[in-house]
Structure 1
Amino acid sequence: MPTSTLLAGALLAATLLLSGRAAAAPPPVQDFFDNAEFGGAQLSPSGRHLAAKVSAAEGGRDRLAVVDLATLDAKVVASFSDGDIGHFQWVSDNRLLFDSTDKDLAPGEVNAAPGLYAVDRDGRNFRPLAERRGRFVRAGDGDRLLPWHTYMLPQPGAQDSDSVYVRSVHFETSGAVLAIELLRLDTRTGRTTDVMEPGHVLNWMLDARGEPRMAITLEQGKHTIWLLENSRWRVVTTFDGYVDSSAGFEPLEFAADGLLYVAARRNGDRRAVHVFDPATGKVGDRALFALDRHDFSGHLIQVAGKLAGIRYKGDSEDTVWLDPELKALQATIDGKLPGNVNLVEVPRRPETPYVLVTTYSDRQPKVFLLYNRETGKFSPVGKAHPRIQARQMGTQENVLYTARDGLPVPGLLTLPAGAGRQDKLPMVVLVHGGPWVRGTEWGWSADAQFLASRGYAVLEPEFRGSTGYGARHFTAGLKQWGLAMQDDVADGARWAIAQGIADPQRICIAGASYGGYATLMGLIRDPDLYRCGVAWAGVADLRLMYGSWLHGSDFPKQYMRYGMPQLIGDLEKDAAQLTATSPVEQAARLRQPLLLAHGSADRRVPRAHGVRFRDAVAATNRQVEWVEYEDEGHGWTLPKNRFDFWTRVEKFLDRHIGAGAAAAK
C-alpha cells in the first residue's frame, strides 16, 4: 500500500486546528479519555524508515507498521488477532523488537506477560523470543522461548546488529522488582549470553558502543553505583536510596570518548548536568547545563557519535542544541509551528533529510509530523486525540505563590477558553499523586482540560516534597503528609481567591493516590475552604501502607523498611503524628460531599483503603458516593471506566460548585 494512502487512513490524518470560534457545547467525555488513536512513531537509526503503532480501525487492535521513506511504501509488519502491539524499538536499520499488550483488559483480568518478539522491517523473519503466562497472543509451537519475566531494556543499545540486551526481572511476592539480570539476546536465533553482575541490580546502563558499563544496586536502603572496568565491577559511590544526597548522581549517558554525563547537585540546590570521569571516579564541579528554577530532568541526544543536544523539562519540555545546524533547524521548525512545544527527533546515524517532530501545546494534544530538511515540508504522521479541537480548550500558565512559611510553591493554572483571571470561577484544586514526583508540566492534559471545558479553573500545586524544584523544596516535605504539604495545597487555593481567580464559595479538591489522600485530609483540615472532594485510588489508612498480611501493597520491602520511615514517618517514633494525619482515623470530621472511587484490583493502594474510609465516614456523612471498578488497578485502564468515572465527576461537581449548584440556590 502506498504511504499516501496509509497516511490518509489508519496511520495519519492530522491537521492543527488552532483558530475559529468555539462550539457552544463542550466536547464529550469520550474525546478526552478514549485511548490515544495513534501510538507513536520512531525513525530507524539511519532515518530511512519510520515505524509506528497504528490501529486497524477505530477501537481496533494496534499493529506495527513500517514506512520506507525513500519509496513512500508502507506495510504492516506485525499484528496479533487477539492482542495489541505494546512497546517497540529498532534493533538495527533492518529489524525491530516489540512486545504485546491487551488494551481491552483491566489489570485484574490480565493473566499474561508482554512476551517478546522480533521481525524484519519488511515483515519477514518474525520470531517469538519470550513466553507468556497466558495464551491470548500465541507464541508459536516448537520454539525455545525465554521465561515470561523477560522484558525490553529501555536503552536501545548500539542498533547495528541483530542482538540486543534484555532484562530478566525477578520479583518479590508483592510484585515489586527485586533484581534485574541482563542478557544479550540474538533476535534471530533466540540464544542468550549472561552478563556478569555486581549484586541485586535495579538499573543497567550501556556505553556508547552499546555494551554494559554501569549498574545500580539497592541494599539496606543504600544505592551503590558500579562501573565495569577490565571485566571487573568497582564501586563508584554509595548514597541514600530515598532521600536526596550530594554524594549521589543519576547516570544519563556515556559519550564516545568514555566520559559519562550525569545529573548531580554539585553547586547548590538544584541538579544540573555534569561530567563524570571514570578514570578519576569523580564528578566535575563545572555544570555543562543547568536550569534557573528546576532540577535537570531529561536525556542527552547523540547524533553520529557526538553530543548534539540536551532534552529537558523546565516550565515545559524543551531542547538546547549544541550542534549549530540542529539549533538552526529547531528555530526553523519553531517558526513554522509558533506557540507549540516542538520536539525534534534526529536519527542516530542520519542518511536522509528526515526528522520526526512531536508538536503540542496547552490546547493541542500531541501531533506527530515528518519534516524534510531539504524541502522544508511537513508530512503528517499521526495525532493522539484527533477529535480534540484546540480552539475549544483552555489556556495554561505556570504560576508561583508563597506558602504560609515563606516557601515558594510552583503550580499550573488552567482556565476555561475565553475566561480571565478576574472572573471568580468555580475551581478544582487538582493534587498530583506520588507524592515524590514532579506532578505537572505545561502541555495538554486530559484531566485539567476536561474540567476547564466544563467551566472550572484548575489549579495543580507542586507542594513541598514534589521533585524537580531543588533539594530544599523536596526535603521540606519529609514527614509532612497532612501537615505542611497539606498547607501548601490550601495556600494555593487561598492565593487563587486573593487573585480573583476563584470564587471562595465554589472550590472543590480532587486527586488520585497521594492526591486522593490530600483530598480527604483537605476536607478534614480545611472544611471552610473546600465545598466538596473527589478522591480515587486514594490512601486513607497510613498504617496500612506499611504492610498487612491481608492487604499488602506492591511497595518494595526496602522502601517500606528504609524509605517510608524517612519520607512519611516511623510507625513507632511517629505513631501519634501518623494517627493524627491518617484520614480513616479522622473520618468523623469530614462532613462535605465526597465522591470516592477505587479499583478492586489495585495493588499499589489496595481496595481496603477505600472501603475502610467509606465505612468510617458513613456514620457521620450521608453525602458520600462510592464507586468501585471491577478488576481495575491503580487508576482506570479501560476507556469505558474512564468515561463512567469522569461523567460522575462532571455531575458531582455540577451539583456542588457548578451551574447546578448555582441554580439550586
Structure 2
Amino acid sequence: MALSPLRSVPLRLALGIALSCMLAAAPAGAAQASPPPAAAFFGNAEFGGATLSPSGRYLAARTGAPGKPLRLMVVDLQDNSVKTVAAFTDSDIHNFQWVNDERLVFDVTDRNVAPGDMHFAAGLFAVNRDGEAFLQLAARRTGRGVVKSSTLAQKRMLPWHTFMLPQPGSQDSPFIYVESTEFDHAGREVNNNLLRLDTLTGLSQLVERPGKVSKWMLGQDGEPRLATVLKDDKLTLYYRAPGSQGWRQLYQAVAFRGDNGAFTPLGFGPDGLLYVEANNGRDTSALYTVDTASGKLSPAPVLTAPGYDFEGHLVANKDKLLGVRLLTDARDNVWFDAGMKAVQEKIDQQLPNTINLITPARNPQAAHMLVESYSDVQPPVFWLADIKTGKLNKVGESHAAIKPAEMGGQQFVRYKARDGREIPALLTLPAGASPKNLPLVMLVHGGPFVRGTEMGWKAQAQFLASRGYAVLEPEYRGSTGFGNAHFRAGWKQWGLGMQDDIADGARWAARQGYADPDRICIAGGSYGGYAALMGVVKDPGLYRCAVDWMGVTDINLLHDGHWSAVSDASDAYLQYGLPVLVGDQVRDAAQLQATSPIQQAARIKAPLLLAYGGVDRRVPLYHGTLFRDAVKKHNNAVEWVEYPDEGHGLALEADRIDFWTRVEKFLDQNIGAGRKPAQP
C-alpha cells in the first residue's frame, strides 16, 4: 500500500465550539425548570451496540427494555427479519463477536449484581445467527447462566477464567482464539494462555507461548502474531511469522516509564504490515509501521496529530487498510481511501451537527456500513447506512431520554500553569445560562497517567452542567495523550505540580469570568479522589468542598497495603513503576508524608462527601475508612457512604443513581442555590 510519508491531522474544534456558542447565546430563561433526573444520565442503557457480520448481510445488536436483561438479536438486512438468538432471565448479554457469517460468540454479565458477587466470571457461549446450535463454552464461577447440555459438552467446558479476545479472528471458520488467565494467590493476573477453540464442539488446543504473556495480538488473518511478556521492568514483544510455529523477539523496552525507544502495536494491515504508535525521538507519538524482520520503525511516520499523541485504531476491510479512528480533542475517522472519504462526506451532509464514525464490514462489497454519531450534547446514536442509496436507518441510541437542547456545550481549552506549562482541559457550560460567574466543579480524572477525557457527551460532566455548574476537566501534567514531556512532568508530582495544575485551572476559570471564585468545589474518583482531598489540604481558600469516590488516601498504602485486603496492582508495577512514577518509600519518605491526605487530615476543614466500594481491589476500602476516621476527629462536615458490593467504580444502576443524587444535594448545599450565606 502506498501512503504519503507524512499526513497531518488538524485539530477538531469547530463542532464543539459552534455548539457551545449556539447554546451560550440562548436566553437565560431558556434553561429547563426541571432538569432531567439522575436516572437519565446514570441508568442502564437499553441499547448495547451493534456489529455487522463479515459479509455485511447480517446485523447483530444488544437490546433490552426497562428492567429487562439485554438480549442478542440478529437482523437479516436483505429481508429485514429479526431474530432473538440469545437471552437469559438472570443475565445480560455483554461482549459479542461474529465467529463467521453463520455463528456468534458472546459472554454475559448481570447489571443487577455488583462485582462483589460476579467474581469477574463472564462465561462464554456460542450460537448460530438463527438461534440454533447454542453451546456453552466456558463456565461461570457463580454457576449462573449454565444451560442444559450433554455430559460430553460439560466435560469440554472451559473454566471460568476463559475470556474473549477484544479482536475477532479470521471470521471464516468455526474457530476463535480465547485467553485462559492464570492468577496468583492474591487473585492478580500473572499469565494469559491462548487457546484455539472450536465453537461448534467446544474442543480447544493450547498455543505455544514465549513466556508469561500479558497480552496477545492476532494478525489480519486471525492467527496469533504478537505476544507481550512483562518480566521485572522489561517489556518484550515476540513475533510469530505466518507459516511459522516459533516465536522470536521483536524488541524489548523498559516498562512503566515511557521508554522513548518503545512502540505500542496497534494491529496488522491486510498487506501484513504491522502498525504501531511510537515517539521515535519526537515529543508526541505518531503512527508508524514496523519491519517485522528487523524490528525497526519506518523512517517517517504514516500519520501525525499535531499537539497530540497518536491514539486510535486501524479501520480496514479484508483487502486493504482504509483509514484510522483517531482521537485528538474528539474521535473521528481519518480516511486513506478515496471511496471512504466520499462515503463520509455523504453521511456528514445528512448528519451535519454530529461527528459520524463509520465502521465498514469485512467484506469490501458489503451493502451497508455502521455509523455512530455523537457530539458534545448528543449521546451516541447508531445508524445503518445503505451504500448505494445513501439512506440512513436508526439502529439504536445509548441514552434515549437525553435531549441535546438541554445539554451543556463544550470547549476544549488550554491554560497556563504557574510554571508556564500548557494544560489542556475540557470546559462544559450549562445550556441556556449566561456563562459568567457560575459555580464551578473541578472534575479530576483518575489514573493518573492516562488521558482523562475528550469532547463528546459524558454522563458525569453533563449531569453537573444540567444542575447549573460549570465543569472543568484538566489534563494535568502526568496525563498521557499530549506528549512525552507532559507525561514525564508528572512523575513524583502527586500533591505537588499535578495538584497545582488543577488549582491553576480553577483560578483560570475565575479570571475568564466563567466561575464565581467563592463557589468552587473539587471532585474526582481514584486518583481524582486523592486530588480532591489534597485540594482542600493545599488550597483551603480556593475550594469550598470536595467529593471523593474510591480515592487513594495515602501513597504508602499503595506500597504496603493493609491486612484487610490486597491491591490488584502487579508486583512488577509495585516494584518498578510506583517508586519512579509516584514515589519511593525510603528516598521520598518526607514527600509522601506531606502529600498524604490521611497524614494531613487535621488540616481539612471543608465539607466532604466520601464514597467507597466494599470489594474494591484497586483502592481497597481501608483507604476510605482510615481517612474517614482521621478527618472526623477534626471535621464534622463529613458524609460517608459505603457500597458493600462495589469494586473500583459503580457498576450497579441503583448505586450510580444514589451516589450522584447525593453529589447533587451536597453541591447544592455548598456551592449551589441551597448554600447558606457566609456568616458576617
**Could you state the TM-score of these two structures normalised by the residue count of structure 2?**
0.93
1:329 aligns with 2:343: yes
Q: Deviations over 1:425-462 (max 9, x none)?
A: 00000000011110010000110001001100000000
1:658 partner amino acid:
G
Within 2, Cα distance between the matches of 1:560 and 1:279?
34
Q: Which residue of 2 aligns with 1:624?
A: 638
Q: Decide which moves more: 427-436 or 368-377.
A: 368-377
Cα deviations by residue, 1:301-349 (Å, 9 ceiling, x for unpaired): 1123211011110010011111101111111111211131111010011
CA distance in 2, matches of 1:258, 1:448: 42
Selected match of 2:232 from 192, 197, 220? 220
Q: Within the alignment, does 1:591 sit opposite 2:605 as a pair?
A: yes
**Among residues 504, 519, 536, which one is paired with 2:532 in the alignment?**
519
Return the alpha-carbon distance in structure 1 between the equivalents of residues 270 and 672 of structure 2. 58
| 1:437 matched to 2:445 | no
Tell me which residue corresponds to 2:503. Answer: 490
The within-5 A match list for 1:482-631 is 482-548=495-561, 549-631=563-645
Indicate whether 1:210 and 2:196 are aligned. no
Structure 2 residue 122 is the aligned partner of structure 1 residue 117 = no
Report the Cα distance in structure 1 between the residues aligned to 2:396 and 2:76, rounded to whole angstroms: 16
Q: Aligned runs of 1:12-91 on 2, under 5 Å?
A: 23-55=32-64, 57-91=65-99
Question: Quick one: distance in 2 between partners of 1:273 and 1:472?
Answer: 18
- Note the C-alpha offset of 1:147: 1.2
Q: Deviations over 1:590-626 (max 9, x none)?
A: 0011111111111110110111111001111111111
The letter of the residue matching 1:468 is G
Instruction: Give distance in 2, aligned partners of 1:473 and 1:331.
Output: 35
For 1:375, what is the secondary structure of its paired residue? coil
Structure 1 residue 138 displacement after superposition = 1.7
In structure 1, the residue matched to 2:7 is none
Aligned to 2:360: 346
**Letter of the aligned partner of 2:337 in structure 1?**
D
Deviation at 1:256, TM superposition (A): 3.0
Q: Deviations over 1:405-431 (max 9, x none)?
A: 11110000000002344x110000000
User: Is the 1:217–1:225 Cα contact (8 Å) retained in structure 2?
Assistant: yes
Displacement after TM superposition at 1:209 (Å): 1.2
AA aligned opposite 1:466: S
Task: Tell me how far apart the structure 2 counterparts of residues 636 and 237 of structure 1 sit (CA, whole Å).
Answer: 39
Letter paired with 2:639: E
Q: What CA deviation, in whole Å up to 9, does each residue of 1:521-557 have, x standing for no partner?
A: 0000000100101001010021111133433211111
Contact 1:22-1:391 within 8 A present in 2 as well = no
Task: Extract structure 1 runs of 4+ deviating beyond 4 A.
Answer: 18-22, 662-665
Distance 1:22 1:50, change over 3 A: farther
User: Which moves more between the two structures, 282-291 or 548-557?
Assistant: 548-557
Partner Cα separation in structure 2 for residue 419 and residue 241 of structure 1: 47
One-letter amino acid matched to 1:616: A
Query: Structure 1 CA distance, aligned partners of 2:629 and 2:366?
Result: 63
Residues 451-462 of structure 1 correspond to what in structure 2 (within 5 A)?
Answer: 451-462=464-475
The one-letter code matched in structure 1 to 2:93 is I
Does residue 266 of structure 1 match 2:275? no
Aligned match of 2:175: 163
Inter-partner Cα distance in structure 2 for 1:485 and 1:173: 35
Shift of 1:484: 0.3
Choose 509-518 or 149-158, whichever is displaced more.
149-158
Match of 2:294 among 269, 280, 285: 280
Deviation at 1:259, TM superposition (A): 1.9
Q: Kindly indicate whether the alpha-carbon contact (under 8 Å) linking 2:270 and 2:318 is maintained by their aligned counterparts in 1.
A: no
The match for 1:479 among 481, 487, 492 is 492
Find the residue that maps to 1:338 and give its secondary structure. coil
Separation in 2, partners of 1:409, 1:182: 42
SS of equivalent residue, structure 1 residue 301:
strand
Q: How many residues align?
A: 646
AA matched with 1:159: Q
- Give the C-alpha shift of residue 232 in structure 1: 2.1
Separation (CA, whole Å) in 1 of partners of 2:454 and 2:31: 25
Amino acid in the other structure paired with 2:42: F
Amino acid at match of 1:199: G
Counterpart-to-counterpart distance in 2, 1:187 and 1:352: 25
- Once the two structures are superposed, what CA deviation does each residue of 1:38-68 show, in whole Å capped at 9, x if it has no partner? 100001111100000011x311011100000
**What SS is found at the alignment partner of 1:39?**
strand
Q: Percent identity?
A: 54
CA–CA distance in structure 2, aligned partners of residues 257 and 37 of structure 1: 39
Is 1:233 equivalent to 2:247 in the alignment?
yes
Give 5+ residue unaligned stretches, structure 2. Answer: 1-21
- C-alpha contact 2:260 2:281 (8 A) present in aligned 1: no
**Alignment partner of 1:661: what SS?**
coil
Q: List per-residue Cα deviations over 1:119-164 (Å, max 9, x = no partner).
A: 1111111111111212221233422201111110111011111100
Task: Select between 254-263 and 465-474 the one with higher mean Cα deviation.
Answer: 254-263
> Is 1:359 matched up with 2:373?
yes
Where does the alignment leave 5 or more consecutive residues of structure 1 unmatched? Answer: 1-17
| Contact preservation (8 Å) 1:179, 1:202 | yes
Please give the alpha-carbon distance, in whole angstroms, between the structure 2 residues aligned to 1:86 and 1:391.
Answer: 31
The alignment's TM-score, normalised by the length of structure 1, stands at 0.95
User: What's the RMSD between the two structures over aligned residues?
Assistant: 1.5
Per-residue CA shift, 1:571-596, capped at 9, x if unaligned?
11111111111110000000011111
| Cα distance in structure 2, aligned partners of 1:67 and 1:180 | 35
